[in-house]
Structure 1
Amino acid sequence: MGTILEGWKNLQAISISSVRDTLSGKYHSRDFIHARMEYLRSRVILVGLLFALLTPLWTLMDWWVLPSWPAHLMAIRVLSLGGLILCVWLAFNGHQRITRIYVLSGLVFILPASFYAYMLLTLAGAGHYVVLGYGFIPFLLVATLSIFPFTLLESALVGGALIALQVLASVSSGTWLTMKGLQDLWLLSALLVVALTANYFHLGLLLRLYRQATHDTLTGLLNRGALSRQLGQEAAHEALHILMVDLDHFKQINDTHGHSVGDEVLMRTASLFKAHLGPEDLAARYGGEEFMLILSGRSDEQALNFSRLLLRQVHGQIFFNHDREPFQITASIGLALCQPGQNIEEVLQLADQRLYSAKRAGRNQVVAQD
């Protein structure tokens, strides 16, 4: 019974976390934000090209069907086509440009929607034709939402605007509050629910794949590859303190108490690290019983005091082996400062050298200078 309850609680925790992570980007890591931007960028290029290719076909249809060709319509067509091509070009050259990709993701929806709204508002007497010829645009754009890894709030914002556009189309064509108008509105709303569901699973799957690729499965910390990418992004912008942390005599813990106890030591120690880090700090399992912590926005004295506090906290943990016998552990730390623009590999080597100096000096201490 206890196992069932525990499993149910774990399932609830996973569900709450999944909804929270897909609802908005508030809890997304900086590394995942960059990864999601690359997915958005590829979608902007694909959808922008598709809409740009369809624009001349729509222009030909308007010229053939409309009784009189409004001169201003061609200008709006050219502006819309130029905007789509510009979106594709900016996205193609927008690698790691987060704000730019956010804006472009919105523009590929705004441009065709704005053109449809413009036609509805300016082509007096042609409202019925506009709805017949272009009434699929809100439905097309809602369906397009499904292929973008948007958060639920982002998709709901776009979807709400498209529903408003559909209401405008119904009013322009005289079908508002008729069975036809209500049927179209209901269909669009149903498609929006499907799109939001697709966004939920799309972004959730992307998050799971990202975490599997970038996080250590045992401790939940970043793995070495993900940390290297983070350092590559951050080192040029601000000073960082790098802590190389190694658990003392960890092999002896595995040999004496077993690997399951050793795994518990790693998991609890990793949780301790995460509990003491700030929102701009990073932690990774560098390999085996070795961890790397990246501190941001601290002075040398603050980083040293943090390292000493961490040692006390690590030693203060109480573990139990399979015979319920208590034991404690210690750690050694090598601390080094990475200045903006400095070669990160040199600083990592320096922190590693200081870590081994701490071990040679008797362990359970911090070495912050040669």
Structure 2
Amino acid sequence: MEYLRTRVMLVGLIFALLTPFWAFMDWLLLPSRPTDFLFVRLFGFAGLLACVWLALQGHQRIRLVYVLSGLVFMLPASFYAYMLLSSDSAGHYVVLGYGFIPFLLVATLSIFPFTLLESAVVGGALIGLQILASIRADTWMTAKGMQDLWLLIALLVVALTANYFHLGLLLRLYRQATHDALTGLMNRGALNQQLTQRIWEDGLHVLMIDLDHFKQINDTHGHSVGDDVLARAAGLFKAHLEPQDLAARYGGEEFTLILAGRTDEQALELARQLLGKVQAQVLHNHDRQPFQITASIGLAACAAGQDAEKALRLADMRLYQAKRGGRNQIVATG
């Protein structure tokens, strides 16, 4: 979303800065200088600036950013279509002076992380715009018209291909930067970002979970067995979470769960379930000998509007109280 938002601001600003230059060329070269062109031009200019400003303010507002990304393409394309449909005497000038707009927008499409379907819809609209331009310039079904249309389609195919690999690379980089490779859970940095940026309307509960005596598992059975223990624990935690909850590997053998929309009793009950599930797991070393583990849990609540980071620190403090108190227990007060 942040990647898309920055592209909206950049492209919207570029088109807005080009608008005065295009208006000067209209004034200089258009034979009749239609007054409505200036009004439409000002409307497009204001719309682009509004897109840039709204995108600048649009942190964590994914729907708004998607709408703005569409408007960044729609405003220049709509202006071009209006000029083609409304200017009889200046039709050839419009095609010659602005005929690059469909090609520019298709090229711009390659830097936006849209899905292939979204990109295809935008590309199809731009192909329709190019056909309209050919009709207005009396080049439709001529060699030049077919050449321009073929060039736009070829450019669209290249843009869609670049978009596909671009989006795939972006998603892989995002996951590598925000998720732990071993467990598949979010890492500490991604969790902290979610806590500070996400709006928790119903408050939240924080569970800090530490696998007891984990260093002994590595020393006794080897790091590969320890890795398996971490992955199994992560899978157990994820299986008990709701879609709105968050889970992270906070560091080493320590995990953090963020529970949304729970009462204090529900959060405590889930902590008890997880404590029992961890202890009930039967794990095996390389010699297929079974062993079991336990966990310590610190629990803290955060009401709506309160500092989630404070709740995180409180849960961490209670986790260490549980470890100092003998481990394999939950501390939810104090």
How do residues 202-213 of structure 1 correspond to structure 2 at under 5 angstroms? 202-213=166-177
SS of the residue corresponding to residue 217 of structure 1 reads coil
- Alpha-carbon displacement from aligned partner over 1:255-309 (angstroms, at most 9, x marks no partner): 1101111011111211221222111111111111111101111122222222222
In the other structure, the counterpart of 2:79 is: 115
> Match for 1:332: what amino acid?
S
> Match for 1:203: what amino acid?
L
Tell me the TM-score normalized by structure 2: 0.91
Distance across 2 between alignment mates of 1:208 and 1:88: 28
Identity percentage over the alignment?
A: 72
How do residues 349-364 of structure 1 correspond to structure 2 at under 5 angstroms? 349-364=313-328
State which of 146, 149, 165 in structure 2 corresponds to 1:182: 146
Check whether the contact 1:235–1:344 (CA below 8 A) recurs between aligned residues.
no
> Match for 1:114: what amino acid?
S
Change in CA separation of 1:237 and 1:181 when aligned onto 2, cut-off 3 Å: same
Distance across 1 between alignment mates of 2:70 and 2:35: 28
SS of the residue corresponding to residue 285 of structure 1 reads strand
In the other structure, the counterpart of 2:236 is: 272
How do residues 163-202 of structure 1 correspond to structure 2 at under 5 angstroms? 163-202=127-166
Deviation at 1:326, TM superposition (A): 1.7
SS of the residue corresponding to residue 301 of structure 2 reads strand
1:162 lines up with 2:119 in the alignment = no
State which of 226, 239, 253 in structure 1 corresponds to 2:190: 226
1:247 lines up with 2:211 in the alignment = yes
1:64 lines up with 2:48 in the alignment = no
How do residues 1-370 of structure 1 correspond to structure 2 at under 5 angstroms? 36-37=1-2, 39-234=3-198, 237-370=201-334
Distance across 2 between alignment mates of 1:134 and 1:336: 61
> Match for 2:307: what amino acid?
N
Change in CA separation of 1:235 and 1:361 when aligned onto 2, cut-off 3 Å: farther
> Match for 1:310: what amino acid?
L
Deviation at 1:358, TM superposition (A): 3.1
Deviation at 1:208, TM superposition (A): 2.2
Check whether the contact 2:195–2:309 (CA below 8 A) recurs between aligned residues.
no
SS of the residue corresponding to residue 296 of structure 2 reads strand
- Alpha-carbon displacement from aligned partner over 1:19-54 (angstroms, at most 9, x marks no partner): xxxxxxxxxxxxxxxxx23x2232223222222232
> Match for 1:116: what amino acid?
Y
Check whether the contact 2:60–2:198 (CA below 8 A) recurs between aligned residues.
no
> Match for 1:232: what amino acid?
T
Distance across 2 between alignment mates of 1:169 and 1:235: 47
Change in CA separation of 1:285 and 1:153 when aligned onto 2, cut-off 3 Å: same
Deviation at 1:103, TM superposition (A): 2.5
Length, aligned pairs only: 334
Check whether the contact 1:219–1:267 (CA below 8 A) recurs between aligned residues.
yes
Change in CA separation of 1:45 and 1:352 when aligned onto 2, cut-off 3 Å: closer
Query: Which 4+ residue blocks in structure 1 deviate beyond 6 angstroms?
Result: none
Unaligned runs of 5+ in 1: 1-35
Distance across 2 between alignment mates of 1:330 and 1:161: 59
- Alpha-carbon displacement from aligned partner over 1:101-131 (angstroms, at most 9, x marks no partner): 3232222211110111001111124333322
Check whether the contact 1:235–1:338 (CA below 8 A) recurs between aligned residues.
no
Distance across 2 between alignment mates of 1:353 and 1:66: 73
Check whether the contact 1:236–1:342 (CA below 8 A) recurs between aligned residues.
no
SS of the residue corresponding to residue 243 of structure 2 reads coil
Distance across 2 between alignment mates of 1:68 and 1:92: 38
Deviation at 1:204, TM superposition (A): 2.2
